[in-house]
Amino acid sequence: MSHDTPGPTATAATSQQGDALENLLHENRKFAPSADFAANAVVGAEVYAEADADRPAFWAKQARELLTWNKDFTQALDWSNPPFAKWFVGGQVNAAYNALDRHVENGLGDRVAIYFEGEPGDSRAYTYAELTEEVKKAANAFESLGVAKGDRVAVYLPMIPEAVITLLACARIGAVHSVVFGGFSSDALRSRIEDAQAKLVVTADGTYRRGKPSALKSAVDQALATDGHSVQNVVVVKRNGQDVDWHEGRDHWWADTVEAASAEHTAVGHDSEHPLFILYTSGTTGKPKGILHTTGGFLTQTAYTHKAVFDLHPETDVYWCTADVGWVTGHSYVAYAPLINGATQVMYEGTPDSPHQGRWWEIVQKYKVSILYTAPTAIRTFMKWGRDIPDKYDLSSIRVLGSVGEPINPEAWMWYRDVIGGNKAPIVDTWWQTETGAQMIAPLPGVTETKPGSAQVPLPGIAVDVVDENGASVPNGHGGFLVIREPWPAMLRGIWGDPERFKETYWSRFETMYFAGDGAKKDEDGDIWLLGRVDDVMNISGHRLSTTEIESALVSHPAVAEAAVVGAADETTGQAVVAFVILRGDAVDSGDEIVQDLRNHVGKEIGPIAKPKIVLVVPELPKTRSGKIMRRLLKDVAEGRAVGDATTLADNTVMAQIAASLKK
């Protein structure tokens, strides 16, 4: 069985561990929305009851309110052939028309759609009218290169406006985009191009990373070096001006094709279930899965959640999601939802420390960003750098803060609220996945009393639950598996080319329920806490502990900046807790003393059972480009094995640095 099928071997906390769990993730701090915020909020508490009364009808209402349909749908949901759902059956809609043209038609052409900030300091703004024109040109250009409705287009671009233009141009003509994150290797790119049988690749000469030019096109050349691939044309954006190899006939500069194309293009409606994109996501092992999303449901749920969860007021807000377009967050909450909702957004090409560690806060100050959406790993990095950096900037424009991608430990949550949010901006911790397409669990900022570390409540119209091994809902105060009981509009429609794997991966562990692969707990209030992937849940002497939880305890120690915990095989206890920690800049590595101190601290925070057997002080942690810690590699170190495949690391020297520091 492949390891990315979390099904039959997965286990999660059961009632026996209830007692142990009682002490965990206990949180008494709560932050109610201010009266002012609640009074001006886009949605109020009534949405929950409305959605509960008739889920499909609730979503049908959102679909009609948020989107302009070329042809109205006749049925909200067809679930006659589970797990294959159809939403807004019979409807026709065009994503690009909804994101662009209609705003221009409604007199909003002069509103800024994108403020782009390049890493070297160049900036450009696109109004809705300008962006519409660019997308029409790109649509014409792609069509002239033989791309037709249903064809796949691979996208290998940095975080530049052309990425959004490319995605919307594909959507406009009904071509299916498949973005491959620019940090992936040429091998990864080739296998994804092959799986999707892409006809066109859109790339750039390169981008900038920490002030230095970094190449992209060379990886495309490598991916296409041997024959037998499906690609006919490559469109190349000139971004950093570096030299590139050129394949006459196959390669075309963006400036010569897109910029030269006509800006007249009529958008036609596509079937609500027409494929919008494929996005590959890796399991623990095995071939990456091509997650397939379709049009009507995806647009509806991303737009609704973007409006409700971020309390979007498009006339006045400036929204900034820091995710790269190579990940699902950059699809749903950069390329689609903000534009569907007519928002003004910031897009930044580079790293947070280029040319200095205050770059993000400088951007917030410059554009008066009011809604910021980022990942806990970034927040913890800023904590490590110290609050005096953000404190130098005017962040008073911020009124909503979002978090996504991994559990946010209460310390980071409090720091985010205090230092970035000025102790007033509500934090919305949003749980979802590439597969769910849109946010599923999150507070509503004008309604929910937020709680540090918990994603809290299923969104209106979303049927999330925590269940035991047998699929029975667990009572408050207990842990189990996170499942989704009812179909939702933005749900994945399958794995590209592999319907069996789709059923097996997500729908086989529990009958009629979607199994997300995450462990979770309901606290005394019924709020949901995410405990990490069930494959990251450890079993120590028959007690289950979450890696997240111990990490959270470690990070709450004043000397610790970041921590990663793995369960390493142990003869006596089954698994033993091994912790890798990065100390804060001002903390002294006192050797044994700090190790003892940290073990005792965890013992105190969670219980003696959770005390790490080994604490290793390291200079860095292995992370993917999206900021996920690759615990698998740390597990290899902890278990004394040769380190496995590390090709997706953001910095491929990290494992060597860790090895060197452990030798010392």
**Contacts with ligand WT7, residue ranges (CB under 6 A):** 281, 328-329, 404-407, 429-434, 455, 516-518, 530, 533
* Shortest distance, position 605 Cβ to ligand WT7, whole Å: 19
Whole-angstrom distance, CA of residue 443 vs CA of residue 310: 10
CA 494 to chain centre: 19
Helix ranges (H only) for 184-252 are: 186-196, 217-223
Nearer Cβ to ligand WT7 (165/530)? 530
* Shortest distance, position 406 Cβ to ligand WT7, whole Å: 5
* Shortest distance, position 65 Cβ to ligand WT7, whole Å: 25
268 Cβ partners below 8 Å, 6+ apart? 70, 94
Nearer Cβ to ligand WT7 (530/606)? 530
CA atoms 637, 643, 648, 649: torsion sign = positive
Nearer Cβ to ligand WT7 (61/628)? 628
* Shortest distance, position 635 Cβ to ligand WT7, whole Å: 17
663 Cβ partners below 8 Å, 6+ apart? none
Nearer Cβ to ligand WT7 (96/528)? 528
* Shortest distance, position 430 Cβ to ligand WT7, whole Å: 5
Strand partners, 14: none
Total H helices, total E strands in the chain:
22, 30
Strand partners, 568: 576
Q: State the greatest distance between any 2 C-alpha atoms of the chain, in Å, as a whole number.
A: 71
Nearer Cβ to ligand WT7 (254/432)? 432
* Shortest distance, position 282 Cβ to ligand WT7, whole Å: 9
Nearer Cβ to ligand WT7 (138/484)? 484
Instruction: State the Cα torsion 53-93-103-115 to the nearest 10°.
Output: 90
SS3 659: helix
Burial label, 186 (beta-carbon count in 10 A; 0-12, 13-18, 19+): middle
Whole-angstrom distance, CA of residue 162 vs CA of residue 205: 13
SS3 509: coil
Nearer Cβ to ligand WT7 (103/544)? 544
Whole-angstrom distance, CA of residue 379 vs CA of residue 374: 8
Nearer Cβ to ligand WT7 (351/433)? 433
Nearer Cβ to ligand WT7 (101/518)? 518
The first and second tokens of residue 661, run together, are 């520091």
Cα angle, residue 50 at apex, residues 102 and 510 outer, rounded to 5°? 100
The first and second tokens of residue 404, run together, are 């996504």
SS3 245: coil
* Shortest distance, position 442 Cβ to ligand WT7, whole Å: 8
Nearer Cβ to ligand WT7 (15/433)? 433
* Shortest distance, position 278 Cβ to ligand WT7, whole Å: 14
Nearer Cβ to ligand WT7 (434/552)? 434
Whole-angstrom distance, CA of residue 173 vs CA of residue 305: 26
Nearer Cβ to ligand WT7 (158/330)? 330
* Shortest distance, position 496 Cβ to ligand WT7, whole Å: 15
Within 10 A of 181 (CB to CB), how many other CB atoms are there? 22
Q: How far are the Cα atoms of 88, 489, 491, 533 from residue 78, in angstroms, in the given order?
A: 8, 11, 13, 30
* Shortest distance, position 461 Cβ to ligand WT7, whole Å: 18
State phi, psi for 624 to the nearest 5 degrees: -75, 170
* Shortest distance, position 631 Cβ to ligand WT7, whole Å: 12
Q: In this structure, are strands 479-484 and 514-522 parallel, antiparallel, or unpaired?
A: antiparallel
Nearer Cβ to ligand WT7 (382/413)? 413
* Shortest distance, position 529 Cβ to ligand WT7, whole Å: 9
Burial label, 630 (beta-carbon count in 10 A; 0-12, 13-18, 19+): buried
- Say how many residues make up the chain: 664
* Shortest distance, position 516 Cβ to ligand WT7, whole Å: 6
* Tokens 């994108």 found at: 114
Helix (H) / strand (E) containing 565 = strand 560-570
Q: Which has the closest alpha carbon to 179: 193, 199, 161, 165? A: 193
* Shortest distance, position 546 Cβ to ligand WT7, whole Å: 11
Nearer Cβ to ligand WT7 (115/431)? 431
